[in-house]
Every structure is written in structure tokens, then in C-alpha cells.
């Protein structure tokens, strides 16, 4: 437990903190009322009571993002989101979420999402949530009868839920600084494609997704990642299917929405998955295949139960393929079958021969683009494959996604650190501690650091190894005084590391 007071940052849309014109000045809008309740409970939790930071200026998307907000996010251990349609539509709020993720970039997605607490002002369908939001119930300030806070007046239910929220925040603050939560099991590395569902089987989809994640499987697409309803649907499905060992399809009565000029999504995903099935079929467990749930018993929209043949159901959506596993039991037996089936095919991939130069991710900060280009030229001259980060005309979200994808698939990663801040370099280094949390199938062949000019006492041989321990960086090259580095040094050191790993 830490002696420092833990800070919570409240992210909200300014439209959720307004009153209609002409309302009595003694009334308070929703966010101000909620913040007041939380602060009251915080003050009652002394000593070392937590802090709540929220912007009382009600700024909107037309206002410049202020340094004070960036500083508050950097100082915050948790993010309280007042979730509503206004919050979802606010670019300002989405930027706060992204900055908070950058603040905790060293943590896995699982640990990071533990730092977010949701206060639902109004209903927002879960399928529209940003992928960074956690799968949690949160605290709901409305019911089917209406909101708990209306026109400046709060109901008893509002105060009860606000009190429960404050108690949870105090509890979270109490244990901040201890070991962050861990997933039930580390990632197995087996990538599975769980097809996006039609609305009538969404509950079953969420259940299967939850069980797969608990089992440690790499499940794509994310729950909040919708298939685009335009021509981009094809690229989306192809990208997510890449490297998956199996695709899973849940078939109800509906085929779901249809992207423009394309099939409905249930049929489209079945057909795109069929394109990946080998021409000889999928008879061995190593081959890509489809697992399809087409329950024998299903309810009509009227609630009337009907029976159907699973094979006929599949054929009404798409052509049956060799190797298809079609199940017609209810969702519980199907889920048990699915987990057992995945366990059977989840055999470790052969390690293969170490090759340092198969695919290098040349990671660097934008300020070090020129220096990284010099290193890239060196690699290119010796026909060594590499890929560099994306910066130009790219959003933070796109840049971060590209970065994570490269880390998940590269053979080796080399950080180029020249003009960038030490904070950037150490943050990137820390991210490389655990290859499992990056969605990789196996360890990096090598994690390297090239320290380039300008020279500095923090970049000498002795200090570099203190800053970048071996559990994060395998090899360190100090090229701060080198005008023209040679490929031989890089190749020799990488080869030495490969040989060491082969004998471990």
C-alpha cells in the first residue's frame, strides 16, 4: 500500500454536465452532483483519502486540449468514465482515454482495464464501446423507468449508487501500488476467429467470447470491433482471420446486417473463412477449419420453440466444407466441446532455426526518424528485412495499433534511441518484458537497443545496462560515438544471442 494519495481522473462529456436554460441556480447538473458525492465520501475516508480530479470548466471539443488535463492524466492511477452517448461522440473524451492508455502503456490490456471504472449515465450498447473499455457491469444511474438524475434533481437511487461507486473507488485506491491483477491464465498463443454475431445470438456470442478469453486464447475480432458496413468489411475480416487456426460461427435465425453490396455478415464470414480451408480439406488438426454452432432447438421471434436440422441450417447460410465441425447442442455443451476441441489442436509450434534477420521491427520515436533511417539503410544494404513504425498523418490510435501489431509478429525488435527522451526509451523497453501479453506465439529471437548520438553520461556502457535490464533488453549496442556503424557488429552480436538461446 502506498502513502501517496491516489488520484482518480473523471472523464465526461460537457453535455452531461448542463442544465436547461432557466433552471434554478441551486440545482446541480449530473456530473457535478456525482463528483460532489464522490468527494464527500473521499473526505470521509481519511487518512490518505484518494483525490478526484475533474475539469469544472465544462470544456467542449472546440476547446484546445489544455496542459493541465494532460498533467492530471499523468498523475492519475484510475479513470472514472461517465459513459453516455455524449461521451462516446466526444473526440475530447476519446483523447483522454487514449492518453490514459499511454500513461499506463507498460501494463497489459488486462491490468490496464482494471484501472477503468464505468459510471453509466445512460445506456450505450456494449458493441459500440471502444475496445479499451473493460468488460464490466459498472455503476448504472438509470433504470427502465428513467434516469436517477433529471433536471438537476437526484433521486434516492442516485445517492445509493453514487455511494456504492465511491466505496469501490476507495477500495481500489487502498490496494494501488501492489502487484497489478493478472489474467486467469497466460495467453496460449492460439489465435481463434470468433465470428461477429447476428443480434439474435449476441448473448451466446458474449458467453463464448468470455470463456475463450478465460481459457487464455487469442480471440479476434475484439468485442467492440464491429465489421464495417461498407467495402472495408472484406479487408477487416481478412485481416482478423490472418494466422487464425480456427474460425467459430454461431448461427441463429438471422444472418445479421449486410455491408453495402455484400452478403449479410454471418454468411460473409463463413465464406471468407472457407477461402482459407486447404484444397485437400481440413482433416488433420493442424489445418485451418470452421467450428459451427447451429442449435437444433431455437426460438422464433414470437417465443415459439422450433426444431431444425443443424446440417440444413449451415447449408442455408453457406456451403458445407471438408473439416467443418458442426454442433447442434445447446450453448453449454457446445462451449464445453469447443474448449476441449481447442485444447486438442493447441499443440506448440516447432521452434525452428533461429534467424535474427527474418523480420526486424525497427522501433523508434518520431524524433529519431533520421537516425533510424540510417540503421535501416544499413540493414537494407545487407538484404535484411525490417519494418518501421508509422507516424506521418497518423492518429495516436492508429499508430499504437500498428505498433502493437508489429510487436506481435516480428522475429526480433531493435529500439533506436538517439534524440528521444529517456522516458520514451525506458517505456518501450518495459513493454518488451512479457512476450505473452503482446499476443505473440513465441518469444522474441532478440530484443535489442541501439544507443545513438548524441553521447551522454546516461548512455555509457555501464549505465545503459542499469537502465535496460536483461529481462527487458537482451542486447545493448552503444553507438553514440560511432560515425559509421558496421553490420558485422550487429550480425555478430545477434548471432551470439541466438546461439545462447538455442542452448538454454
Element (H, E) at 74: helix 67-74
As a residue count, the chain comes to: 504
Q: From CA 415, how far away is CA 383, in angstroms rounded? A: 19
Determine the pLDDT at residue 356: 41
Distance CA 292, CA 251 (A): 7
Q: What is the mean pLDDT of residues 93-122?
A: 88
State the Cα–Cα distance between residues 408 and 111, nearest whole angstrom. Answer: 18
356 CB-near residues (< 8 Å, 6+ apart): 411, 412, 445, 446, 491, 494, 495, 497, 498
Q: In terms of DSSP bridges, do strands 153-154 and 149-150 run parallel, antiparallel, or are they unpaired? A: antiparallel
CB atoms within 10 A of CB 203: 11
The C-alpha atoms of residue 190 and residue 263 are separated, in whole angstroms, by 28
Q: Rounded mean pLDDT of 361-379?
A: 91
pLDDT of 205 strictly over 60:
yes
Ranges in the chain annotated CATH 3.40.50.10140:
7-174
- H/E element, 312: helix 310-317
Is pLDDT at 229 greater than 60 in this prediction?
yes
The CB-side HSE value for 296 (13 A sphere, CA atoms) comes to: 6
Orientation of helix 30-43 relative to helix 156-174, angle to 10°: 50
pLDDT(355) > 90 = no
User: Would you say residue 190 has pLDDT above 60?
Assistant: yes
Over residues 395-408, mean pLDDT: 87
H or E element at residue 52: strand 51-53
Number of H helices, E strands in the chain: 16, 21
| Cβ neighbours for 79, distance < 8 A, ≥ 6 positions apart | 8, 9, 11, 96, 97, 100, 115, 116, 117
Residue 184 clears pLDDT 80, i.e. is over it: no
Reading the block at residue 438, the C-alpha cell is 503482446
- Give the SS3 label for residue 295: coil
CB atoms within 10 A of CB 298: 16
Q: If one looks up domain 7-174 in CATH, what number appears?
A: 3.40.50.10140
Contact (CB, 8 A) for 291 and 338: yes
Distance CA 297, CA 279 (A): 33
pLDDT for 418: 93
Which range has the top average pLDDT, 25-29, 127-131, 311-315, 322-326? 311-315
Rounded distance between C-alpha atoms, residue 5 and residue 45, angstroms: 11
The per-residue pLDDT for 301 is 65
- Which among 53, 136, 128, 135 has a CA at the least distance from the CA of 96? 53
Mean pLDDT lowest among 92-96, 138-142, 203-207, 498-502:
498-502
Supply the pLDDT for residue 318: 95
C-alpha pair distances (Å), 400 with each of 98, 347, 389: 10, 31, 9
CA dihedral 474, 185, 407, 379 (to 10 degrees): 40
How does the average pLDDT of the chain come out, rounded? 83
Closest CA to 125 of 117, 133, 114, 116: 133
* Whole-number pLDDT of residue 157: 92
315: pLDDT strictly greater than 60: yes
DSSP state of 5: P
What is the average pLDDT across 381-405? 86
Residue partners of 459: CB distance under 8 A and separation at least 6 = 451, 478, 480
Superfamily of domain 360-503: Response regulator (3.40.50.2300)
Rounded Cα–Cα distance for residues 303 and 169 (Å) = 42
Residue 11 has pLDDT above 60, yes or no: yes
| Confidence band, pLDDT 50/70/90 cuts, at residue 488 | low
User: Bigger pLDDT: 63 or 198?
Assistant: 198
Q: For residues 143 and 268, which has the higher predicted lDDT (pLDDT)?
A: 268
Confidence class for position 182, pLDDT limits 50, 70, 90 = very low
- pLDDT above 70 as % of the chain: 85
| Model-wide pTM > 0.95 | no
Nearest to 191 by CA among 226, 227, 220, 223: 220
Three-state SS for 490? helix
Q: What is the pLDDT at residue 33?
A: 94
Q: Which pLDDT does position 353 carry in this prediction?
A: 39
- Among 165, 354, 179, 193, smallest CA distance to 272 is for 193
pLDDT band, residue 352 (cuts 50/70/90) = very low
Q: Which of 56-60, 101-105, 134-138 has the lowest mean pLDDT?
A: 56-60
Query: Which one of 1.10.3470, 3.40.50, 3.30.70, 3.40.1420 gives the CATH number of domain 191-345?
Result: 3.40.50
Cα separation, 356 vs 367, in Å, equals: 26
CA-to-CA dists, residue 452 to 86, 476, 483, angstroms: 46, 11, 9
- Banded model confidence at residue 186, pLDDT cuts 50, 70, 90: very low
For residues 91 and 64, is the Cβ–Cβ distance under 8 A? no
Report the pLDDT value the prediction gives residue 187, as an integer from 0 to 100.
Answer: 44
Residue 468: CB atoms within 10 A of its CB come to 25
For the chain, give every residue range classified as CATH 3.40.50.2300.
Answer: 360-503
User: Over pLDDT 90: what percentage of the chain?
Assistant: 41
Rounded Cα distance, 267 and 326, in Å: 15
Amino acid at each position: 500500500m502506498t502513502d501517496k494519495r491516489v488520484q482518480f481522473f473523471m472523464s465526461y462529456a460537457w453535455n452531461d454536465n448542463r442544465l436547461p436554460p432557466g433552471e434554478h441556480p441551486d440545482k446541480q447538473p449530473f456530473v457535478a452532483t456525482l463528483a460532489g458525492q464522490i468527494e464527500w465520501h473521499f473526505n470521509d475516508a481519511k487518512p490518505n483519502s484518494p483525490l478526484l480530479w475533474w475539469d469544472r470548466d465544462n470544456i467542449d471539443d472546440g476547446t484546445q486540449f489544455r496542459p493541465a488535463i494532460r498533467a492530471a492524466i499523468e498523475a492519475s492511477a484510475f479513470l472514472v468514465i461517465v459513459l453516455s452517448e455524449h461521451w462516446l461522440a466526444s473526440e475530447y473524451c476519446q483523447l483522454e482515454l487514449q492518453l490514459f492508455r499511454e500513461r499506463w502503456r507498460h501494463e497489459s490490456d488486462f491490468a490496464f482495464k482494471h484501472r477503468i471504472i464505468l459510471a453509466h449515465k445512460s445506456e450505450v450498447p456494449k458493441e459500440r464501446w471502444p475496445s479499451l473499455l473493460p468488460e464490466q457491469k459498472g455503476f448504472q444511474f438509470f433504470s427502465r423507468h428513467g434516469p436517477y438524475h433529471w433536471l438537476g434533481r437526484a433521486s434516492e437511487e442516485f445517492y445509493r449508487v453514487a455511494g456504492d461507486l465511491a466505496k469501490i473507488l476507495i477500495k481500489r485506491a487502498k490496494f494501488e501500488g501492489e502487484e497489478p491483477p493478472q489474467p486467469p491464465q497466460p495467453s496460449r498463443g492460439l489465435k481463434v476467429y470468433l465470428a461477429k454475431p447476428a443480434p439474435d445470438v449476441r448473448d451466446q456470442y458474449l458467453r463464448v467470447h468470455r470463456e475463450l478469453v478465460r481459457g487464455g486464447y487469442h480471440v479476434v475480432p475484439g468485442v467492440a470491433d464491429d465489421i464495417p458496413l461498407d467495402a472495408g468489411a472484406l479487408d477487416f475480416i481478412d485481416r482478423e482471420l490472418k494466422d487464425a487456426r480456427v474460425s467459430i460461427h454461431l448461427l441463429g435465425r438471422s444472418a445479421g446486417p449486410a455491408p453495402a453490396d455484400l452478403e449479410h455478415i454471418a454468411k460473409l464470414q463463413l465464406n471468407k473463412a472457407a477461402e482459407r480451408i486447404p484444397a485437400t480439406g481440413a482433416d488433420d488438426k493442424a489445418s485451418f477449419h470452421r467450428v459451427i454452432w447451429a442449435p437444433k432447438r431455437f426460438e422464433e421471434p414470437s417465443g415459439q420453440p422450433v426444431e431444425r436440422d443443424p446440417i440444413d441450417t449451415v447449408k442455408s447460410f453457406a456451403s458445407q466444407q471438408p473439416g467443418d465441425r458442426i454442433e447442434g447442442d445447446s450453448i453449454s455443451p457446445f462451449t464445453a466441446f469447443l474448449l476441449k476441441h481447442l485444447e486438442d489442436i493447441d499443440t506448440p509450434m516447432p521452434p525452428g532455426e533461429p534467424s535474427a534477420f527474418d523480420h526486424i521491427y525497427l522501433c523508434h520515436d518520431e524524433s529519431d526518424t533520421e537516425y533510424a533511417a540510417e540503421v535501416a539503410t544499413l540493414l537494407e544494404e545487407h538484404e535484411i528485412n525490417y519494418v518501421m513504425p508509422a507516424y506521418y498523418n497518423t492518429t495516436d490510435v492508429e499508430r499504437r495499433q500498428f505498433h502493437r501489431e508489429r510487436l506481435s509478429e516480428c522475429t526480433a525488435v531493435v529500439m533506436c534511441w538517439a534524440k528521444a527522451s529517456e522516458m520514451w526509451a525506458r517505456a518501450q523497453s518495459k513493454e518488451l518484458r512479457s512476450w505473452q501479453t503482446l499476443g505473440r506465439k513465441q518469444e522474441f529471437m532478440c530484443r535489442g537497443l541501439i544507443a545513438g548520438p548524441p553521447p551522454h553520461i546516461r548512455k555509457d556502457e555501464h549505465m545503459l545496462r542499469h537502465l535496460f535490464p536483461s529481462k527487458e533488453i537482451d542486447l545493448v549496442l552503444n553507438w553514440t560515438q560511432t560515425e559509421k556503424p558496421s553490420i558485422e557488429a550487429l550480425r555478430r552480436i545477434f548471432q551470439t544471442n541466438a546461439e545462447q538461446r538455442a542452448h538454454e
